[in-house]
Structure 1
Amino acid sequence: MVTNPQRRTTLVDAAIDVLARDGARGLTFRAVDAEAGVPKGTASNYFANRDDLLNQAAARIHLRVAVDPAEGTERDPAALLTQFMHLLLHRISDDRAGWLALLELRLEATRRPELRDTLTKTLRDNLNANVEGRRAGNLPGDDLTTVLLYYAMTGLILEHLTLPGVLDDVDLDALVADFVRRSLPGS
Protein backbone atom coordinates (compact mmCIF):
# COMPACT_ATOMS: atom_id res chain seq x y z
CA MET A 1 0.00 0.00 0.00
CA VAL A 2 1.29 3.43 -0.96
CA THR A 3 1.26 5.99 1.86
CA ASN A 4 1.40 9.46 0.29
CA PRO A 5 -1.22 11.18 2.56
CA GLN A 6 -1.90 14.05 0.15
CA ARG A 7 -2.53 11.68 -2.77
CA ARG A 8 -4.74 9.49 -0.55
CA THR A 9 -6.84 12.54 0.40
CA THR A 10 -7.11 13.53 -3.27
CA LEU A 11 -8.34 10.04 -4.11
CA VAL A 12 -10.85 9.97 -1.26
CA ASP A 13 -12.18 13.38 -2.30
CA ALA A 14 -12.48 12.08 -5.87
CA ALA A 15 -14.38 9.07 -4.54
CA ILE A 16 -16.78 11.42 -2.76
CA ASP A 17 -17.37 13.29 -6.02
CA VAL A 18 -17.98 10.01 -7.87
CA LEU A 19 -20.42 8.85 -5.18
CA ALA A 20 -22.34 12.12 -5.42
CA ARG A 21 -22.51 12.04 -9.20
CA ASP A 22 -22.83 8.33 -10.01
CA GLY A 23 -23.96 6.69 -6.79
CA ALA A 24 -22.39 3.78 -4.98
CA ARG A 25 -22.75 1.48 -7.97
CA GLY A 26 -20.63 3.85 -10.05
CA LEU A 27 -17.79 3.93 -7.54
CA THR A 28 -14.91 2.01 -9.10
CA PHE A 29 -11.18 2.44 -8.82
CA ARG A 30 -11.12 3.40 -12.50
CA ALA A 31 -13.79 6.11 -11.93
CA VAL A 32 -11.84 7.47 -8.95
CA ASP A 33 -8.60 7.55 -10.94
CA ALA A 34 -10.34 9.46 -13.75
CA GLU A 35 -11.99 11.92 -11.34
CA ALA A 36 -8.69 12.55 -9.55
CA GLY A 37 -6.80 12.92 -12.83
CA VAL A 38 -4.23 10.28 -11.89
CA PRO A 39 -2.90 7.32 -13.89
CA LYS A 40 -5.05 4.19 -14.08
CA GLY A 41 -4.33 1.85 -11.22
CA THR A 42 -3.42 4.57 -8.72
CA ALA A 43 -6.47 4.09 -6.46
CA SER A 44 -5.91 0.35 -6.29
CA ASN A 45 -2.43 1.07 -4.90
CA TYR A 46 -3.91 3.14 -2.05
CA PHE A 47 -6.96 1.11 -1.02
CA ALA A 48 -7.13 -2.58 -0.25
CA ASN A 49 -10.55 -2.88 -1.91
CA ARG A 50 -13.74 -1.00 -2.66
CA ASP A 51 -14.98 -1.41 0.93
CA ASP A 52 -11.80 0.27 2.18
CA LEU A 53 -12.45 3.18 -0.18
CA LEU A 54 -16.09 3.45 0.96
CA ASN A 55 -15.05 3.44 4.62
CA GLN A 56 -12.44 6.14 4.09
CA ALA A 57 -14.93 8.29 2.16
CA ALA A 58 -17.39 7.94 5.05
CA ALA A 59 -14.76 9.10 7.52
CA ARG A 60 -13.62 12.03 5.33
CA ILE A 61 -16.94 13.72 4.55
CA HIS A 62 -17.40 15.31 7.96
CA LEU A 63 -13.87 16.69 7.94
CA ARG A 64 -14.65 18.58 4.73
CA VAL A 65 -17.57 20.50 6.24
CA ALA A 66 -16.52 20.85 9.87
CA VAL A 67 -17.04 24.24 11.49
CA ASP A 68 -14.09 25.44 13.54
CA PRO A 69 -15.21 27.04 16.85
CA ALA A 70 -12.71 29.84 16.14
CA GLU A 71 -14.99 30.93 13.28
CA GLY A 72 -17.58 32.11 15.80
CA THR A 73 -17.53 35.86 16.20
CA GLU A 74 -20.76 36.51 18.11
CA ARG A 75 -20.46 37.37 21.81
CA ASP A 76 -24.01 36.47 22.86
CA PRO A 77 -24.17 32.66 23.38
CA ALA A 78 -27.54 32.23 21.59
CA ALA A 79 -26.34 34.37 18.67
CA LEU A 80 -23.12 32.33 18.56
CA LEU A 81 -25.08 29.08 18.41
CA THR A 82 -27.18 30.51 15.56
CA GLN A 83 -24.00 31.62 13.78
CA PHE A 84 -22.57 28.09 14.02
CA MET A 85 -25.77 26.63 12.54
CA HIS A 86 -25.63 29.15 9.68
CA LEU A 87 -21.96 28.32 9.05
CA LEU A 88 -22.82 24.62 8.96
CA LEU A 89 -25.71 25.13 6.53
CA HIS A 90 -23.59 27.21 4.17
CA ARG A 91 -20.51 24.98 4.43
CA ILE A 92 -22.57 21.91 3.54
CA SER A 93 -24.42 23.78 0.78
CA ASP A 94 -21.05 24.74 -0.68
CA ASP A 95 -19.97 21.07 -0.57
CA ARG A 96 -23.14 19.59 -2.05
CA ALA A 97 -21.16 16.62 -3.40
CA GLY A 98 -20.02 15.68 0.10
CA TRP A 99 -23.57 15.61 1.45
CA LEU A 100 -24.94 13.69 -1.53
CA ALA A 101 -22.09 11.20 -1.17
CA LEU A 102 -23.03 10.78 2.49
CA LEU A 103 -26.59 9.95 1.43
CA GLU A 104 -25.25 7.36 -1.00
CA LEU A 105 -23.07 5.91 1.75
CA ARG A 106 -26.06 5.71 4.09
CA LEU A 107 -27.97 3.70 1.50
CA GLU A 108 -24.98 1.48 0.78
CA ALA A 109 -24.53 0.91 4.53
CA THR A 110 -27.90 -0.85 4.63
CA ARG A 111 -26.30 -3.58 2.50
CA ARG A 112 -22.74 -3.60 3.86
CA PRO A 113 -22.32 -4.34 7.58
CA GLU A 114 -18.71 -3.10 7.74
CA LEU A 115 -19.65 0.20 6.13
CA ARG A 116 -22.67 0.44 8.44
CA ASP A 117 -20.35 0.03 11.44
CA THR A 118 -17.92 2.66 10.12
CA LEU A 119 -20.63 5.13 9.21
CA THR A 120 -22.48 4.58 12.49
CA LYS A 121 -19.29 5.30 14.41
CA THR A 122 -18.51 8.37 12.30
CA LEU A 123 -22.00 9.83 12.70
CA ARG A 124 -22.19 8.96 16.40
CA ASP A 125 -18.78 10.56 16.96
CA ASN A 126 -19.93 13.63 15.04
CA LEU A 127 -23.09 13.95 17.15
CA ASN A 128 -21.09 13.45 20.35
CA ALA A 129 -18.56 16.07 19.20
CA ASN A 130 -21.44 18.51 18.69
CA VAL A 131 -22.74 17.80 22.21
CA GLU A 132 -19.26 18.24 23.67
CA GLY A 133 -18.68 21.35 21.59
CA ARG A 134 -21.84 22.96 22.94
CA ARG A 135 -20.78 22.12 26.48
CA ALA A 136 -17.19 23.30 26.02
CA GLY A 137 -18.29 26.48 24.28
CA ASN A 138 -20.74 27.18 27.08
CA LEU A 139 -23.47 27.57 24.48
CA PRO A 140 -27.09 27.71 25.63
CA GLY A 141 -29.31 24.70 25.91
CA ASP A 142 -28.59 21.17 26.97
CA ASP A 143 -27.64 17.90 25.32
CA LEU A 144 -31.18 17.41 24.01
CA THR A 145 -31.03 20.89 22.43
CA THR A 146 -27.96 19.77 20.50
CA VAL A 147 -29.63 16.55 19.34
CA LEU A 148 -32.77 18.44 18.26
CA LEU A 149 -30.73 20.98 16.30
CA TYR A 150 -28.59 18.24 14.77
CA TYR A 151 -31.61 16.43 13.36
CA ALA A 152 -33.48 19.59 12.40
CA MET A 153 -30.43 20.69 10.42
CA THR A 154 -30.01 17.22 8.91
CA GLY A 155 -33.58 17.29 7.61
CA LEU A 156 -33.30 20.84 6.33
CA ILE A 157 -30.04 20.09 4.54
CA LEU A 158 -31.45 16.90 3.03
CA GLU A 159 -34.39 18.80 1.56
CA HIS A 160 -32.29 21.78 0.47
CA LEU A 161 -29.70 19.69 -1.37
CA THR A 162 -31.93 17.04 -2.92
CA LEU A 163 -35.20 18.86 -3.68
CA PRO A 164 -34.42 22.57 -3.36
CA GLY A 165 -37.67 23.59 -5.04
CA VAL A 166 -39.60 22.49 -1.95
CA LEU A 167 -37.98 25.34 0.00
CA ASP A 168 -37.90 27.96 -2.79
CA ASP A 169 -39.98 30.44 -0.83
CA VAL A 170 -38.25 29.85 2.54
CA ASP A 171 -35.47 32.03 3.92
CA LEU A 172 -33.16 29.26 5.15
CA ASP A 173 -31.12 31.54 7.39
CA ALA A 174 -34.29 32.78 9.11
CA LEU A 175 -35.51 29.19 9.45
CA VAL A 176 -32.22 28.15 11.07
CA ALA A 177 -32.42 31.08 13.48
CA ASP A 178 -35.94 29.96 14.35
CA PHE A 179 -34.74 26.36 14.90
CA VAL A 180 -32.23 27.63 17.42
CA ARG A 181 -34.62 29.99 19.17
CA ARG A 182 -37.38 27.38 19.48
CA SER A 183 -35.05 24.59 20.62
CA LEU A 184 -33.58 26.56 23.51
CA PRO A 185 -35.17 25.86 26.88
CA GLY A 186 -37.57 28.56 27.98
CA SER A 187 -38.46 29.71 24.47
Structure 2
Amino acid sequence: MNTERRERLRDAAIDVLAGSGARGLTHRAVDAVAQVPEGTTKNYFATRDALLRAVAERCVELYDRIPAEPPSDRAGLARLLSALLADVEGPGRPRLQAVFELQAEAARKPWLAAVLDAVTATDFARFRQAVRAAGLPATPARVSAITLALHSAVLHLLTGGPRTIEAAGLNDLDLFVGDLLDSVFGP
Protein backbone atom coordinates (compact mmCIF):
# COMPACT_ATOMS: atom_id res chain seq x y z
CA MET A 1 0.00 0.00 0.00
CA ASN A 2 0.97 3.59 -0.55
CA THR A 3 2.75 4.71 2.64
CA GLU A 4 2.33 8.43 1.91
CA ARG A 5 -1.41 8.06 1.41
CA ARG A 6 -1.69 5.96 4.58
CA GLU A 7 -0.02 8.73 6.60
CA ARG A 8 -2.27 11.32 5.00
CA LEU A 9 -5.33 9.29 5.98
CA ARG A 10 -4.13 8.86 9.56
CA ASP A 11 -3.43 12.59 9.86
CA ALA A 12 -6.86 13.37 8.39
CA ALA A 13 -8.40 10.96 10.90
CA ILE A 14 -6.75 12.91 13.73
CA ASP A 15 -8.32 16.11 12.37
CA VAL A 16 -11.74 14.44 12.09
CA LEU A 17 -11.52 13.03 15.61
CA ALA A 18 -10.36 16.37 17.01
CA GLY A 19 -13.03 18.34 15.19
CA SER A 20 -16.03 16.01 15.26
CA GLY A 21 -15.36 13.66 18.16
CA ALA A 22 -15.50 9.89 18.20
CA ARG A 23 -19.00 9.76 16.74
CA GLY A 24 -17.86 11.82 13.79
CA LEU A 25 -14.96 9.51 12.97
CA THR A 26 -16.19 7.72 9.89
CA HIS A 27 -14.42 6.42 6.82
CA ARG A 28 -16.31 8.94 4.67
CA ALA A 29 -15.37 11.85 6.91
CA VAL A 30 -11.70 10.89 6.70
CA ASP A 31 -11.96 10.53 2.91
CA ALA A 32 -13.40 14.05 2.73
CA VAL A 33 -10.75 15.66 4.95
CA ALA A 34 -7.92 13.79 3.20
CA GLN A 35 -9.44 14.78 -0.17
CA VAL A 36 -9.27 11.26 -1.54
CA PRO A 37 -11.88 9.27 -3.45
CA GLU A 38 -14.70 7.85 -1.36
CA GLY A 39 -13.82 4.39 -0.11
CA THR A 40 -10.08 5.03 0.11
CA THR A 41 -9.97 5.05 3.91
CA LYS A 42 -11.97 1.81 4.04
CA ASN A 43 -9.41 0.20 1.69
CA TYR A 44 -6.62 1.05 4.15
CA PHE A 45 -8.53 0.56 7.42
CA ALA A 46 -11.37 -1.90 6.83
CA THR A 47 -13.17 -1.45 10.15
CA ARG A 48 -13.81 1.41 12.54
CA ASP A 49 -11.63 -0.34 15.12
CA ALA A 50 -8.81 -0.52 12.56
CA LEU A 51 -9.24 3.21 11.97
CA LEU A 52 -9.21 3.93 15.72
CA ARG A 53 -6.05 1.84 16.10
CA ALA A 54 -4.40 3.70 13.21
CA VAL A 55 -5.23 7.07 14.76
CA ALA A 56 -3.98 5.99 18.18
CA GLU A 57 -0.73 4.67 16.74
CA ARG A 58 -0.26 7.87 14.74
CA CYS A 59 -0.80 9.98 17.87
CA VAL A 60 1.84 7.91 19.67
CA GLU A 61 4.26 8.38 16.74
CA LEU A 62 3.69 12.15 16.67
CA TYR A 63 4.14 12.37 20.43
CA ASP A 64 7.42 10.49 20.21
CA ARG A 65 8.66 13.07 17.68
CA ILE A 66 8.21 16.06 19.97
CA PRO A 67 11.71 17.41 20.50
CA ALA A 68 12.65 18.17 24.06
CA GLU A 69 16.04 19.39 25.17
CA PRO A 70 16.83 17.97 28.59
CA PRO A 71 16.77 20.79 31.10
CA SER A 72 19.99 21.50 32.96
CA ASP A 73 18.35 23.21 35.92
CA ARG A 74 15.01 24.05 37.53
CA ALA A 75 14.46 27.09 35.31
CA GLY A 76 15.01 24.93 32.24
CA LEU A 77 12.51 22.39 33.55
CA ALA A 78 9.98 25.18 34.06
CA ARG A 79 10.50 26.41 30.48
CA LEU A 80 10.08 22.88 29.13
CA LEU A 81 6.83 22.28 31.02
CA SER A 82 5.46 25.71 30.07
CA ALA A 83 6.24 25.04 26.41
CA LEU A 84 4.47 21.68 26.55
CA LEU A 85 1.36 23.35 27.96
CA ALA A 86 1.55 26.20 25.44
CA ASP A 87 1.52 23.58 22.67
CA VAL A 88 -2.10 22.86 23.62
CA GLU A 89 -3.04 26.13 21.95
CA GLY A 90 -0.59 25.55 19.11
CA PRO A 91 0.13 22.78 16.65
CA GLY A 92 -0.34 20.03 19.23
CA ARG A 93 -4.00 20.87 19.84
CA PRO A 94 -5.61 18.50 17.28
CA ARG A 95 -3.42 15.59 18.39
CA LEU A 96 -4.25 16.21 22.05
CA GLN A 97 -7.96 16.53 21.31
CA ALA A 98 -7.78 13.26 19.40
CA VAL A 99 -5.97 11.56 22.28
CA PHE A 100 -8.68 12.60 24.74
CA GLU A 101 -11.36 11.31 22.36
CA LEU A 102 -9.42 8.06 22.07
CA GLN A 103 -9.11 7.80 25.84
CA ALA A 104 -12.89 8.04 26.19
CA GLU A 105 -13.25 5.25 23.61
CA ALA A 106 -10.55 3.25 25.42
CA ALA A 107 -12.74 3.10 28.52
CA ARG A 108 -14.89 0.68 26.52
CA LYS A 109 -12.19 -0.92 24.36
CA PRO A 110 -9.34 -2.54 26.32
CA TRP A 111 -7.26 -3.09 23.18
CA LEU A 112 -7.30 0.68 22.56
CA ALA A 113 -6.36 1.37 26.18
CA ALA A 114 -3.28 -0.81 25.65
CA VAL A 115 -2.22 1.23 22.60
CA LEU A 116 -2.69 4.54 24.45
CA ASP A 117 -0.86 3.25 27.51
CA ALA A 118 2.38 3.86 25.60
CA VAL A 119 1.75 7.63 25.62
CA THR A 120 0.96 7.86 29.31
CA ALA A 121 3.76 5.56 30.42
CA THR A 122 6.15 7.56 28.26
CA ASP A 123 5.04 10.77 29.97
CA PHE A 124 5.95 9.45 33.41
CA ALA A 125 9.35 8.28 32.13
CA ARG A 126 10.05 11.52 30.24
CA PHE A 127 9.15 13.71 33.17
CA ARG A 128 11.27 11.56 35.49
CA GLN A 129 14.23 12.04 33.13
CA ALA A 130 13.58 15.79 32.87
CA VAL A 131 13.39 16.19 36.65
CA ARG A 132 16.64 14.25 37.07
CA ALA A 133 18.35 16.27 34.32
CA ALA A 134 17.29 19.44 36.13
CA GLY A 135 19.06 18.18 39.23
CA LEU A 136 15.89 17.72 41.27
CA PRO A 137 14.89 14.62 43.26
CA ALA A 138 12.83 12.44 40.90
CA THR A 139 10.96 10.35 43.43
CA PRO A 140 7.99 8.37 42.10
CA ALA A 141 5.55 10.52 44.11
CA ARG A 142 7.00 13.79 42.81
CA VAL A 143 7.09 12.62 39.20
CA SER A 144 3.51 11.36 39.50
CA ALA A 145 2.36 14.69 40.96
CA ILE A 146 3.93 16.63 38.09
CA THR A 147 2.72 14.26 35.38
CA LEU A 148 -0.84 14.06 36.67
CA ALA A 149 -1.02 17.84 37.20
CA LEU A 150 0.14 18.42 33.62
CA HIS A 151 -2.35 15.88 32.24
CA SER A 152 -5.14 17.64 34.12
CA ALA A 153 -3.90 21.03 32.95
CA VAL A 154 -3.96 19.86 29.32
CA LEU A 155 -7.55 18.68 29.69
CA HIS A 156 -8.59 22.01 31.19
CA LEU A 157 -6.75 23.97 28.51
CA LEU A 158 -8.60 21.98 25.85
CA THR A 159 -12.04 22.21 27.41
CA GLY A 160 -12.12 24.94 30.03
CA GLY A 161 -13.85 28.23 29.72
CA PRO A 162 -12.23 31.44 30.90
CA ARG A 163 -13.44 31.04 34.50
CA THR A 164 -12.07 27.50 34.71
CA ILE A 165 -8.76 28.55 33.17
CA GLU A 166 -8.47 31.41 35.66
CA ALA A 167 -9.55 29.28 38.64
CA ALA A 168 -6.93 26.66 37.75
CA GLY A 169 -4.25 29.32 37.31
CA LEU A 170 -3.76 28.34 33.67
CA ASN A 171 -4.14 31.89 32.38
CA ASP A 172 -0.43 32.32 33.15
CA LEU A 173 1.36 29.10 32.23
CA ASP A 174 4.75 30.22 33.55
CA LEU A 175 3.22 31.06 36.94
CA PHE A 176 1.25 27.78 36.94
CA VAL A 177 4.39 25.73 36.27
CA GLY A 178 6.42 27.73 38.81
CA ASP A 179 3.75 27.15 41.47
CA LEU A 180 3.58 23.46 40.56
CA LEU A 181 7.33 23.05 40.94
CA ASP A 182 7.25 24.98 44.24
CA SER A 183 4.47 22.70 45.50
CA VAL A 184 6.33 19.54 44.53
CA PHE A 185 9.92 20.54 45.37
CA GLY A 186 9.56 23.55 47.65
CA PRO A 187 10.56 27.11 46.76
User: TM over 0.5: same fold?
Assistant: yes
Farther-moved stretch of structure 1 (150-159 vs 164-173): 164-173
Equivalent in the alignment of 1:174: 175
Equivalent of residue 78 in structure 1, options 58, 74, 80: 74
Quick one: distance in 1 between partners of 2:47 and 2:96?
A: 23
Match of 1:113 among 90, 107, 110: 110
Deviations 1:72-124 (A, max 9, x none): 6x65x101111110111112321322222111111111111211222224322
Q: Take 1:123 and 1:181, find their aligned partners in 2: how far apart are those partners?
A: 24
Q: 1:155 to 1:52 in 2, by over 3 A?
A: same
* Partner residue, 2:95: 98
Tell me the residue number matched to 1:39.
Answer: 37
Report the Cα distance in structure 1 between the residues aligned to 2:181 and 2:53, rounded to whole angstroms: 32
- Indicate the residue corresponding to 1:54 in structure 2: 52
1:67 Cα offset (Å): 3.9
Distance 1:97 1:87 in 2: 16
Asked if 2 retains the 8 angstrom alpha-carbon contact of 1:81 and 1:139, the reply is no
CA contact (8 A) 1:3 1:46 kept: no
Which AA in structure 2 matches 1:8?
A: R
Provide the aligned length of Structure 1 versus Structure 2: 180
* TM-score, normalised with respect to structure 2: 0.83
**Unpaired runs of 5+ in structure 2?**
none
Amino acid at match of 1:24: A
Q: 2:181 and 2:44 mapped to 1: Cα distance?
A: 42
Q: Distance in 2 between matches of 1:44 and 1:29?
A: 6
Hey, what's the Cα distance between the residues in 2 that align with 1:13 and 1:31? 12
Matched, 1:64 2:62: yes
Q: Superposition RMSD on alpha carbons, in Å? A: 2.3
Q: CA deviation at 1:144?
A: 2.9
Correspondent of 1:8 among 3, 6, 15: 6
Q: Is the 8 A contact 1:28 1:50 kept in 2?
A: yes
Q: Aligned pair in 2 of structure 1 residues 103, 129: CA closer, same or farther (>3 Å)?
A: same
| Dislocated runs of 4+, deviation >4 Å | none
Q: Is 2:164 the counterpart of 1:163?
A: no
| TM value normalised by structure 1 | 0.83
Aligned-residue offset at 1:49: 2.2
Q: Is the 8 A contact 1:33 1:39 kept in 2?
A: yes
Does the aligned pair in 1 maintain the 2:27–2:39 contact within 8 Å? yes
CA contact (8 A) 1:110 1:116 kept: yes
Residues 140-179 of structure 1 deviation map (CA, whole Å, 9 limit, x = unaligned): 2314322211111111111121013121473222111211
